[in-house]
A and B are shown apart, each in its own frame.
Chain A
Amino acid sequence: MKKLMKVLAIVISAAMVFSLAACNGLGGKEETTDEPGTLAQAGTVAIPKEEIKIGVLHITSIEETSGYTFAHHKGIVEMKESLGLKDNQIIEKDWIDDNDKKATTTAIQELIDEGCHVIFATSFNYMDTMEEFAAKDEYQDIVFSHCSGYKSNPDNFNNYFGRIYESRYLAGIAAGLKAQELETPMLGFVAAQDVNNAEVTGGINAWALGIQSVYPEAKVFVSVTGSWYAPEDEGKAAQALIDKGCVVLGQHSDSDATQTVAEKNGKFGCGYNSDMTPFAKDAHLCAPIWNWGVYYTKAVSEVINGEWKPVNYYEGMNVGLIDLSPLNPDTIAPGTEEKVAEAKAAIADGSLVVFDDSLVDNKGNKIVGEGEDGRLSDEQITGGINYYIQGVELL
C-alpha cells in the first residue's frame, strides 16, 4: 500500500509539473499583444513574404512515412518550397493529442507567441479550442484554419477539407473488381472511428458504393480500432477481417499496417493518405490520396497578399486537392484502369454524384438528401453521415 501511495505521489507530482508548464505557456503572451481593437483584421493586410510565419499542429509524428500526418507535412513542405519560404518561417508541432485540450491550448498559444500569422490545425478535435482562440479580441489579426471540422467564424477562422469520398469511390471500383476477380464478395474496412464519425463513415460508404457499382452483391465488413494512429491495433483488425474471409481491405487509419497485413496473408487492399504501394507492393491496389499542398499554397499566398477571406474551403479532384494514387499494375484486376477512368471523368463532368438520392442505410431506411435533386448536401456529408449504407456491416 505504501508503495502504491509512493507511485501515486510520483505520478501526481509529474502531472503537476506538466500542468505548471502549461500555465507558463499561457502566461507569457500578455506583453506581446497590442490593445484590443487596434489590430488589423486577419488576412486584410499584406505581409512581406520574408516575414510571414506559419504554425502547424499535427496529431502524430512528422517522421511518419505514409499516413495522415505524412500527407499534411508533405503539403506544408510543398507550400514552403513553391512560395520560397525559409525553414524558420514554419513551425510544426507534432504529437499534439487532439483529445487533450490542455496540450492543444498550449501548442496554439506557443505558435501565437512565436509570432505566427497563420495557424493550421490538422485534426478534428482541435476544432473547439481553435474556435475559442479565434474569438479572442487580441488575436483578430491571426488567421486560424482548421482541417476536417465544421466550425468557422466570419472574421478569422475557416475550415478546410476535401471531397475525399470521390477518391474513395474510385478506389472502391478497383477493390470491387479485385474481389470479383477472386470470386469472393467479402471486403473489409479498418476504421479509426465508429459509425458516428461522419468523415470515416462517409468514406466507408463511398468505398462501398464504388464496390457495389461493379460488384453489386459484395459486402463490406467494418472493424473499428477507436484510434487514428494505432499500428498494432490496425494490424489486428486487418487480421480479424481476413480471418472472417475478406479478400480486399480498405482503411481509414493512419498507418500502413492494414496493407502489410493484407500482403502477409496474400490478400489485397486500398491504402489511404498516400500511395502505399511501396509498403506492400504485392497487395496494394491504389489509395485515395491528399495533396494538401494545393490548399496550403493557396491559403498562405492569400495571406501574404492580404487577400485572405474567412470562407470555408471544400474542394475535390477538380483542383487536385484529392486524387487516386497510381493503380498498381501488379495487383489490379483486368479492366480496372478503364472503369476508374470512366468514373473519374463522370465525376468531373458532374454526371456521376457519389451521394445521390438512392442511398438506403443498412437498416433499410431511405436517406433523405437536403441538396439539389435529393443528393446529400455538403453539410450532410461533412457532419451528418452516421449510418452505414446497405451492404456495409460491423464485423
Chain B
Amino acid sequence: MLDFDFHDIEPMTMPKILILTLLIVAFTNPVMAQSVDAAAQTVKIALAQEPPQLNNMTATDQVSIFVLGHVMEGLTRYDRRGNLAPGVAERWELTETSATFWLRKDAKWSNGDPVTAHDFVFAWRNVVDPKTASQYAFILYPVKNAEAINQGTKPLTDLGIQAVDDFTLKVTLERPTGYFLKLTAFVTTFPVQEKFYRATGSAYAADSKDLLYNGAFRISDWVHSASLKMEKNPNYWNSKAISLEVIDAEYITADTRARLNLFIDEKIAYTQLDGETYKDALNNQFRIKKFVTGSVYFLEYNYRPERITHNKKLRQAIQAVFDPDEFVNKVLQTPGNLPGASLFPSWIMGVNKPFRQEYPAVVTRPDLAKAKQLLREAKAELGLEDIPPLILLVSDSPTATKQAEYMQGMLKTKLDLDLKIDVQTFKQRLAKMTNGDFDIVGAGWGPDFDDIMTFGDLFASWNLNNRGRYNNPEYDRLVRKAMNSNDPEVRMAAMAGLQTIVHEDAIILPMYEQGVIYLQHPKIKGMRRTVVGSDPDFTYARIVP
C-alpha cells in the first residue's frame, strides 16, 4: 500500500494543482462553433421540448409541427414572402366540387423514390381512419365522406381522394372550400410512403431513421430530449433555393431563463421571451422583436341551463366593466399583446383587406353606471337577491392565475361580484371544461388553418370545442352559410353578422390577442414567423456575414 503523507508536499502545490486542472478543462474544451456561421450556413437553436410526435398524421403540438414543416412538404407550401406556392404539386385546379393536383416528377423522398399521388391517398386515408385516432382528422373534413369515415359510418375506400395516375391526384370535396389549398400546406395532409410506413411498423417516426423526408431538410441526428439536427436535403426538388445547410437544435429545454442564458452566451441564435426574462433581455440591450401569434384569449361562459351565466344581462354587465386596454397594459406587461375586441384576430383576411378593417368590431367602452343597471336587471331576471360566487376555471400557469386574480379584484370592486378561482392542471382543467364544471373559463384559440372559419365555427352548436354549449340557431345558420359558399363577399358578410352576435350576446369576453417577444441573431435574414404551420420558419433563411 502506498504510504503517502500530505505534509511532505510543499504547501503551494494543492492550489497549483487545482488551477492547473481548471486550465486544462478550460482549454481542452473545444472552441465551440457559435450560434450562427455564415461560411457554413449553420444556425443553432433550442427547442422548448422534445418533439412528441413526428408522425405528421397524428402530430398536433407546435414543436413537432415546427420540425415537420422543415423536413416534409405537402401539395402546396408557403414561400419566402408567406404566399401560397407550389409544393409537391406543380399546378392545380380548384372548383366548387373538386380539386385536381398535378404532381412534379422531381419531388423525391430521402430514399430516392419519387413522391407519388399514392403517397397522398395512403396518408389521407390513414388520417381519417378512426383507428388512427388523429386529433387533427377534422382538417380533412372538407374531403368527401371524411367526416363519416372518421365517425366509423363509412368504409375508408369511400374517401374522396383518388390517384388518377402516379402524378395526378383528384380530390372530391364535401362542400365548396375556398381555403382548401391552404389545408394542403398543413402537416396533417403531408404524404406518407406506404411501403416505408409498413416496414417501420409501430416505430414510424420514433427516430431519425424511422422517417422518410421530402422537405427542404432532413433530420440527420436526433438524440431524444438532447438535440435534433436538421441538414439540407440534397434530394429536395428545390434545394438550390435553400441557403441554410444546417439547423441545429443543440439544446432542448422548457426553461426560458436557460434559453436566454444560452442566447447571451451566443450558443443559440433565437429564443422566445416571457414576462420574467423580458427585463433581463432589456438589461442586456438586445433588440427585442415582437410577433402576434394569431391566438385569441377570452373568457368563455357556461350556457348550460343550471348555470346563472346563461343570463345575458349578467354577461353584458361584465362586458361593460371590462377594459381590455387596461388589462393588456396592467396585467400582461410584456409588449406585443393587442387588446381583445372580437372573436376574430386582427390578422385574419377578409375579402381584400384584413377582415377587421372591412368589418370593424364594435367595442364597448367601460361604463360603470350601465354595468350596474345591467346587473340589477340580471338579478331581477334570475330572481336573486345576490349573485352567488361565480366559478372561474383557469390553468395552473402563473400568467393565467395572475389574469384570474385581476378579474376577481376588478369585478369585486366595481360590481361587488364574487369570483371563485379554480386553478387546475392541464388535463383536469380540460376534464372540467368538457363536463361543464365551471361558470366562466379562461380559454384561448389558435388558428389551425389560414381562414376565418378556423375561428368562425367555434361556437356553432355542433362544435365539440364549444365547451360552454352555446346554442344559437342564428349563429349556426350564418356558419353554414359561410361554409357552403366559395364567394368571399358572402362568406365575410356572414362572418360579420356572426361578429355582431358575439358582441351583442356577449358570448365571450375577448381579453387579448396574444403577442410574443423574442430575440433573433442579427445575422439571420429571412426567418419567417407565421400564425399557422411551422413557426418560426427557417426554410428560406440565410446567414449573412
On whether the two chains bind one another, the answer is no
Q: List residues of chain A with CB under 8 Å of any chain B CB.
A: none
